Each structure stands twice: as structure tokens, then as C-alpha cells.
Structure 1
Amino acid sequence: MTEVHRRGFLAGVGAGAAGIALSGHGTAYAAPGSDGAPDTTFSRMFPNLPAFGPNTNAMQAALLDIGRRGGPLDAADDLAAGPVALITDPTKSLNNPDNPTHTAGTTFLGQFLDHDMTFDAASRLGIATDPATSPNGRTPMFDLDSVYGGGPVATPLYYDPADRAKFVIESGGLFEDLPRGAGGAAIIAEPRNDENMIISGLHAAFLLFHNRVVDWLRAGPQPPADTFAAARQLVTRHYHWIILKEFLPQIVGQSVVDRILAQGRQFYRPGHAGMPVEFQGAAYRFGHSMVRPSYRANLAGDNGQPFFGFVFDPAGEGQADPVDLRGGSRAPRRFIGWQTFFDFNDGQVKRNKRIDTRISTPLFTLPLGIIPGHTSPTSLAQRNLLRHLTWSMPAGQAIAAQMGTPALGSATLAELAGYDLKLQKSTPLWYYVLREAQVQQDGLRLGAVGGTIVAEVFLGLLQLDPSSWLNQEPGWRPTLPSRVAGDFRMVDLLTFARVDPASRGQ
């Protein structure tokens, strides 16, 4: 079956893969219409709706108070109990309820996807900015430019000088690690993919996934003329399959995906792929609510014992081998045991946190090193809320009205009434999306407004990408080895990349 899959794939590579190797970003972009290539700046999904409120000193003070440590959004985790107890002791994790429909890896796969389609490094928090004047540092498509950069010709530092079809991959002492410079910084196309150990491990897994695909193609009966281009196309197709068949249904529900595929997108309808600020600055930031205060990084990396750590801990600042799970460092214990994050049917997987308006306490004190510009505030919640003023974003209730879906009532957002700014009636979209998921879906997935925004943008980016299998070959099915023939999930990707528990003897 494997040889048949190879032949079927290679027969369909053709000119499309050749175009991949020649483009500036390493991706072939045919114009979806007369408008040409994807947008390089941000845009609006609801351009006719007013901002949720005025950009005044009082509003800024209110948003800072809502997003401060100890404020309404703080889950008030008992950090003194330590990272192990916050995972293993139910009495210490009351504000971090399990989501039985997600595994812990859902959060970090979502972060990886975010870093592949959007990067705002220019706008200033709280300073009103026209999205059309602010550059998006990533192509607004799931093209893995965050991994491939400009390809082996334009960005050779990411690639193996002895085999330009493959990435450089290094070791942290026991298992794989990203290539790093003398100071520990990762040498990768997307620096944010080294913010924490889990996302850096996922990036390393994608590097290995590509390298294994190169080997798989070369071992076939008809090796491609351009191995890099063929491998990138095959990697990207399987990546798109995971997004459409695994990740998106988890976060919005299969019924929402099916509805939009059948009826079409109603609100995200650009002439070509672009990145709306309602998605980038608010709705898709729901993932911050799913982050737990601590994780078990691996089962036996810490002198034969599991390595537990807070996702961020101020005590880790400046340490060569930090006590927390921040990125930017190399040590033998700093690798990811994926059985904690995805379900390999070995009983070791941990569940994700539900979506709600309780943000894990460590996220209120981010390391300056992971913040663009290395500037305060260090509270992730404050930064998210101030971004609503940056983009003059509409209220969740206004978007619900335009969508024709019932809006949350003021009583549901009563904790915001005390600021005397009518925030309980005209709520910042990020806050609204979190509470909506909590009220409408019990935190298991996004609600009506959040789910529609996220699903339409995700599906739109796939549909507006002329190199997507949805456009080039709608009947395509995964061809790489998998647990279920014709399907492909994250556990299959990690297994093929040989970072799965079995490959490590765990």
C-alpha cells in the first residue's frame, strides 16, 4: 500500500510542485482572482460596525484593571502548590476544568497554526491604527512559511548544507532540538515558535516530518526530480487535512464546519486571502484561555523522572536550564513527550482546559523576552484587551446582531458593569468570545460568534489558497502511513516524524 500511495502522489505533483520551489516564500501562489496575491496587511471582517467603546483614559484604565493579575480574568491558581499539584490534585485545579473533547496538545497546535498565518509586530497597544496600514509578518495562508521560510535557496541557514532538501535539526542531549545559536535562540523562520518548550518541540517535529517525507519519496520507485518541492507539497497537504478534519471540528464543532462548507461563508468574503483583526486580535485568541498553569513536559527526562514545570515562572529568568517550560534554552530534559499532549492509546494523555473567562495565573507575568519589543504590560490579558483599542474593534454583541444570533445578556457579563462604561452591553470581542463559549458550549468549543469568525476564516484561508488540495484535487486523501487508511491525524504525523513514544522506547 505504501508504494501505491507514493506512485499516486508523484503522478499528481506535476507543475504545481515545480512552482513551489521557485516562489519567493517557497509556495506557489496563482491569483485566486484579478486581485492577485494575498494581503500583506491586516483588514476588517465587519468594517461597518463601530468600536466597542471610546479610546479614553477611563477605558484604558478599565481594560488594564480587567486584565491585571488578581482581576476578573485571573484564575487565581495556587502557584505555591507547585506545578505537579496543579495537574494531579483536583482541589488545586478547580479553575482549570478538563475538556474531555480535547487533549492538551490542542492548545499548542492552535498556537502553531496562529504563527503560520499572522504576526503583528508593528502596531502599538492602545494606539488606534488602521489595519490596512499595518503589515502582517506572515502570509495569511496555511502555507507553512513559518517553517519553510523562503526555501533552501532564499533562506539556506534553515537547511542542511549536505542535503538542501532537508532541514537542519539538532539534539538537546537526549532527543531532537531546534538548531540554536550561541545564546540559545532558535535558528528558525518563526522565532515565536520558541516561546515555550511545547511549541518549540512541535516546530522540531515538523522539521523532522518534512525530512522523513524526503526519505520516503526518495525510497519510492520513481523519486521526484525536485525532492524538496514534492516533499513540501505532500507535507502541506497532510497539514491541511489535519486542520480541516481534526483541529477545526474540535474548536468549533463539526456541525459548524459542515454548515459553512455547505452554505458558504457569510462574513469572511474577501477577494483574496487576508487577515481580519476581529480574528487575529480577538476571536482566535480564545486559545489563551485553554493554557494550563503547568504541564508535564515528558515522562522521564528529569533524571529518570517526569519533568513538570509552570508554563512560565519568574524564577526561571536567566537560568541556563530554567525551572519552567519557557523556550530559548537547551538541556537534556528539555524535550516533549508527546503522549502527554496527544492520545497514543497508552493511558498517558492529559486533557485540555475548557474555554472560559479564567486565564491561568502564569500568563499574567510573561517573560519580556517573548513579548514583541520587550515592553510592558507583561499580562497577556491586558495586552489582548488593549489590542481592541488598537484596532477599534466592534463589540461582541454588535457582531452577534449582524450575524442574526442571540447576544449574551448584560446579566451574563455583570462583572463588567462596575466600570460604568457599559462594557456589559458592549463587550470587548475577546472577552465576549470566552464568555460565550463558557455559557453556550460549556467551554467545550466556541460559541456562535467566536465559532463563526474562526471557522469562516480557517475555511476561507484554505479555500482561497490555489495550492490547497481543496482547489487542486478535491477528492485527494492522505497517502502517508497512518493508523486509519485514507485519514491522517496529529498522532500519525508525530509517529511518521519518529518523535512518538514508541520511537523513543517510552
Structure 2
Amino acid sequence: MTEDNAVPRRGFLAGVGAGAAGLALSGHGTAYAAPASGGAPDTTFSRMFPSLPAFGANTNAMQAALLDIGRRGGPLDAADDLAAGPVALITDPAKSLNNPDNPTHTAGTTFLGQFLDHDMTFDAASRLGVATDPATSPNGRVPLFDLDSVYGGGPVTTPMFYDPADRAKFLVESGGLFEDLPRGSGGAAIIAEPRNDENMVISGLHAAFLLFHNRVVDWLRDRPEPPEEVFAAARRLVTRHYHWIILKEFLPQIVGQAVVDRILTAGRQFYKPNHAGMPVEFQGAAYRFGHSMVRPSYRANLAGDQGQPFFGFVFDPAGEGQADPVDLRGGTRAARRFIGWQTFFDFNDGQVKRNKRIDTRISTPLFTLPLGIIPGHTSPTSLAQRNLLRHLTWSMPSGQAIAAYMGTPVLGDAAFPELTAYNLKLQKNTPLWYYVLREAQLQQDGLRLGAVGGTIVAEVFLGLLELDPSSWLNQRPDWRPTLPSRVAGDFRMVDLLTFAGVDPASRGQ
């Protein structure tokens, strides 16, 4: 549920070249060994299916059709009963009849997915609906799960992110009941990835990662670790546990364990670059499936609102300009603006809430995004319209063409009856994002991605892990998590949040 931010992240590297002896500089300024398959990660976007034609012509009629499909009240709008309020939309399923819950996902899956997105891809330059060659468009993030979105350039290159009293640790502030991101006088977060302050949940997750790193530093010092090596050792340990969560928890949830096992065993068939890169079919379409999982409202915490739970729409126009908004937008600080993680991940206390299913129903608040999270603060404000226009930006192939190319079942015209009225053959040549959502709905009952979407997402995820020379998959395939956890040798998001000290038990809430 993110919009790419227009602030470039590579500016501080201007004029810095690659190191010698096979070393290269990533976008966060850290030298690493180039993958054995050759070369540093791509700095621009790429194509996963370069031989396939665009799904349709970039005409006025096509643009008008995509805008109509993605408008509020259009075929993608779940028509949630917003007048009922944020509490009723959680407690009364009748208020969201078109927007069913996913019993296999917790609400935190959405925001972990958003956090991962912000760590590997960042389209800072392309224009919606304007045809662009991916090879000429820079990716403002390193296409690896390297946590440059958290670490920036490290304490020497980007000291503003770190504690001046202890440079091995991040700067973390409060101001509410619990932790908050460090903020400037205007409320903007002082972090390496500004998009991680778009909403309260993603900003809370970023703060949890800051505290997780800081606790790892303390854990290593108790061992003890040589002082000059503590920061590097902590980052390595944090990243390894992060990769474990991606591979063992997040990816199986969204594509199914069988798909992960198949690709790990048989190898990637379609994402096969010589070095890590970011294909537009993933960035601009397939990975945006997460927008369908967003709830219209959330319980942010159990007792932060003057002792009562804080409920809010994910975005609400009424929150615009408020010092303590009624919704869950980020960019500000107040006592109640923190996350109670028992709502988002399962601590076995009966408090966890669920995601929405992956289908062609998008929660209604996402059709009116705050201008502040949109690059250039320009229309359209409908997230669905913006996603559909990106198919014209990147001249992406249709879902049907990719399914045929993969040799997987192709959804027929009958799967898209609502698209026939546009007289553009969209039921035969469906924009990939729309196709991936409908495919998940029909093939997997919305619980996980279908054949096309699951293959694209799983192959890119596994490829980025396999092409990362610092990944434990490459360095130590037999590695197992070493930090304290509920199950020895395993590590999940609830373990990360517990170790970071933001879990319900640590807070007494």
C-alpha cells in the first residue's frame, strides 16, 4: 500500500566509483563483493519478459478505461461502509461484504510486505501513463534485501540516523507512550527511507527494526564482541534473521510453501539475470497484490487513546492538516500514535486481526490517498488508478500472455466479464496487476497468489536472496537463527518484536 517517493536516495554517492578487486558500491554506500554470477546489482529497472508485447496501446481510450476501472465506485472498489466508522468495519463483517478477511494471514503481513518493498525498489523518476524504457529509469533502492532502507550509509556516511552517544546504535525517540522515529521540527521522520513514515504501522515497524538492531548490539557486547566490530556484526546478524523471516515466514504465506520448495529445488525459470535487478512486471504489477490485503481500518493499539483502544481508517480525508490525525497516516507524533503489535502479529493472546483476501476488491479508503504520500502531490489520488496507469508507463504484457509463456492455465474471457464493456479487449489482454488479483481469487480463493503472480513474486524474492553475496544462503547455507526465540533454531516476526522489546508483554499492554 505504498506510493514511490520522489526523493532520490543515491545523491550522496554522486561521483563515487566502484571499488577494486570485485567490490562495488551499493546505493547506501557500503562495499560488498559482487555476486559470482557477475556484476553489481542493476541501478535501473529491467524486464522479466522482454519478448512479450504490451497488453494494449497507450491511447486516450485506454487511459480513460483504466481510470474508470480504478475510480472510486468502479469495479475494483470494495464499497466498504465507511459511514459505519472504523470500529464497525473491524467488528461487523456485514459492513464489508465485498471485502472478506483472509484467515491465513495476520494484519501485519501487509505492512511487512510494504517494508520489504521499500527495501528493494523505489521508482523515483517515471511518470504515470507516459511510456518509459525501464533501462533508463533509475531504481532508487538497491535490489537486494540489504536493509539499506534502515541503515542508510552507516554511522559514518549518514550519522543523522545514529545515536550521537553510541554510534553503533540508531537514534530512537519517543514523545508518545512508547517509541517513535526521530523527527524534525516539522514532524518529518529522520530515517533512511522516507516512505517508511507513510502510515503509523510502517513507521512503527521501522522503529521496531531500529530497536531490534540496538538490542542486538547490546547482545553482542555481552558476549563480548570487539568494540570496533560491533556495528558490522550487529548488522550482519540482523540481516540474517531478516532473511530468515522472508524465506521461512513471509514468502510461504503469500505464495504457498509448495511454490517456494519447487523453485528452491528446480531453480528459477523466468527471473534469471546475471546479477540482481528489479523487473517492472514485479515492481509495477505483481508485487502490488498487497494493496488488496489492506483493511479499511485498523485497531492501532489497545489502550493508547486515553486508556481506550485507538481505531482509525488507514487514510481519512478528515485527518488532513490535523496535528493528531483521526486516521493512521504517518508524519506526526502524539501520545496515542504507536502500534500495539498484538493486533498485527499472533502472540497467542486472542487479539490478532486478519488481512483482507487477495482479490479484485480494494478497500475504499485507498481510492482517496493523502496528497502528502503521492510523488509530486499530483492526481490521481486513487491507488488503483495509479497502479493501472503504470502498465502504460512500462508497456507491460498482459497477464494472459505471461500465463501462456509460463505454460500455466490462462484465465479466459469469462473470468473478466466486467472488462468487456470497455470494448478494448481487456478481458483477453488484462493488465497484469488486475490479472494477478483475479487469478489469486479464482485459483486460491484469495488466500495466496495464483500461478502467474506466485511465480513472479517467488522467483524475484528467491533470486534477490540467491544473488546477494552476503546472504546466509550463499555464505552459510547451514546457518540457523541464534537469537532468542519461541522455537530454537527458528525466528519469526513475533520473535523479532519481542527481542526488540515492543511486544505486548514488555509493554504491559
Q: What band does the TM-score fall into relative to the shorter chain?
A: over 0.9
The alpha-carbon deviation at position 374 of structure 1 amounts to 1.1
- Tell me, yes or no, if the aligned pair for 2:358 and 2:437 is still in contact at 8 Å: yes
Higher mean C-alpha deviation, range 17-26 or range 382-391: 17-26
TM-score by length of 2: 0.95
Matched position secondary structure for 1:393: coil
Deviation at 1:188, TM superposition (A): 0.4
Aligned pair in 2 of structure 1 residues 333, 16: CA closer, same or farther (>3 Å)? farther
Judged with a 3 Å threshold, the aligned counterparts in structure 2 of structure 1 residues 371 and 144 are, in CA distance, closer, same or farther, namely same
How has the CA–CA distance of structure 1 residues 412 and 26 changed in structure 2, closer, same or farther, with 3 Å as cutoff? same
**Contact 1:367-1:378 at 8 Å conserved across structures:** yes
Q: Kindly tell me: are residues 386 and 378 of structure 1, through their superposed partners in 2, closer, same or farther at Cα, counting changes over 3 Å?
A: same
In structure 2, distance between residues paired with 1:20 and 1:362: 45
Query: Kindly tell me: are residues 118 and 298 of structure 1, through their superposed partners in 2, closer, same or farther at Cα, counting changes over 3 Å?
Result: same
Task: Quote how far apart the aligned CAs of 1:221 are.
Answer: 3.9
Aligned counterparts of 2:123 and 2:452: Cα–Cα separation in 1: 23
Say whether residues 1:368 and 2:371 are aligned partners.
Answer: yes
Secondary structure at 2:301 match in 1: strand
Give the conservation status (yes or no) of the 8 Å contact 1:298–1:340: yes
- The offset of 1:35, in angstroms, is 3.7
State the Cα deviation string for residues 416-458 of structure 1 (Å, max 9, x = none): 0000000000000000000000000000000000000000000
Greater CA drift, 53-62 or 218-227: 218-227
Maintained 8 Å contact 1:193/1:200 = yes
How well do the aligned residues superpose, as a CA RMSD in angstroms? 6.1
Q: Percent identity?
A: 91
Question: Would you say the 8 A contact 1:21–1:151 is kept in 2?
Answer: no
Quickly say closer, same or farther: Cα 1:5–1:111, change in 2 above 3 A. Answer: closer
Change (3 A) 1:20 1:476: farther
1:10-57 residue CA offsets vs partner (Å, 9 max, x unmatched) = 999999999999977264421114641100000000000000000000
Deviation beyond 2 Å, 4+ runs, structure 1: 1-29, 221-225
Superposition deviation, residue 173 in structure 1: 2.2
Once the two structures are TM-superposed, the CA of residue 91 in structure 1 deviates from its matched residue by 1.2
- Find the counterpart in structure 2 of residue 2 from structure 1: 2
Q: Are the equivalent residues in 1 in contact too, given 2:301–2:310 (CA < 8 A)?
A: yes
Q: 1:166–1:211: 8 Å Cα contact kept in structure 2?
A: yes
8 Å Cα contact 2:367-2:382 kept in structure 1:
yes
What number of residue pairs does the alignment pair up? 506
Taking the aligned partners of 1:355 and 1:305, their CA distance within structure 2 comes to: 31
Q: CA deviation at 1:243?
A: 0.1
Contact 1:26–1:148 (Cα < 8 Å) also in 2: no
**Offset at 1:93?**
2.1
Distance in 1, matches of 2:39 and 2:425, equals: 42
Q: What CA distance in whole angstroms lies between the structure 1 residues aligned with 2:415 and 2:119?
A: 34
Structure 2 CA distance for partners of 1:7 and 1:475, relative to 1, 3 Å: farther
Alpha-carbon spacing, 1:403–1:5, altered in 2? closer, same or farther (3 Å): closer
Change in Cα spacing, 1:164 to 1:205, as seen in structure 2 (3 Å) is same
Query: How far off is 1:373 after superposition?
Result: 1.3
Cα separation, partners in 2 of 1:416 and 1:488, compared to 1, 3 Å: same
Query: Is the 1:18–1:226 Cα contact (8 Å) retained in structure 2?
Result: no
Q: Residue 198 of structure 2 contacts residue 331 of structure 2 at CA under 8 Å; is this kept in 1?
A: yes
Sort the Cα spacing of 1:22 and 1:288 in 2 relative to 1 into closer, same or farther, 3 A.
closer
Whether the aligned pair in 1 keeps the contact of 2:299 and 2:343 (CA below 8 Å) is yes
- Alpha carbons 2:37, 2:275 under 8 Å: kept: no
Query: How far 1:409 moved relative to its partner?
Result: 0.9
For residues 218 and 83 of structure 1, do their structure 2 counterparts lie closer, same or farther at Cα, with a shift above 3 Å needed? same
Q: Indicate whether 1:407 and 2:413 are aligned.
A: no
Segments of structure 2 that go 5 or more residues without pairing to the other structure are none
Deviation track 1:88-121 (CA, whole Å, cap 9, x = no partner) reads 0121121221111110000000000000000001
8 Å contact kept, 1:28–1:467: no
Report which stretch shifted further, 9-18 or 257-266. Answer: 9-18
Match of 1:391 among 394, 411, 415: 394
Using the TM superposition, name which of 217-226 and 381-390 deviates more: 217-226
Structure-2 change in CA distance of 1:448 and 1:24 (3 Å): closer
Distance apart, 1:363 and its partner CA: 0.3
CA distance in 2 between partners of 1:79 and 1:384 (Å): 23
2:9/2:141 contact within 8 Å kept: no
Write the distance in 2 (CA, Å) between the matches of 1:404 and 1:173. Answer: 53
TM-score by length of 1: 0.95
Which range is displaced more, 10-19 or 182-191? 10-19
Partners of 1:7 and 1:131 lie apart in 2 by 18
List gaps (5 residues or longer) in structure 1.
Answer: none
Q: Report the CA distance shift for 1:89/1:2 in structure 2 as closer, same or farther (over 3 A).
A: closer
Contact 2:8 2:140 in 1 (8 A): no
Given that 2:107 and 2:354 are in contact with CA atoms closer than 8 Å, whether structure 1 keeps it comes out as yes
- Cα offset for 1:172? 2.8
Give the conservation status (yes or no) of the 8 Å contact 2:10–2:27: no
**What is the distance in 2 between the residues matched to 1:489 and 1:130?**
39
For residues 305-335 of structure 1, what are the alpha-carbon distances to aligned partners after superposition, in whole Å with 9 as ceiling and x for unaligned? 0000000000000000000000001000000
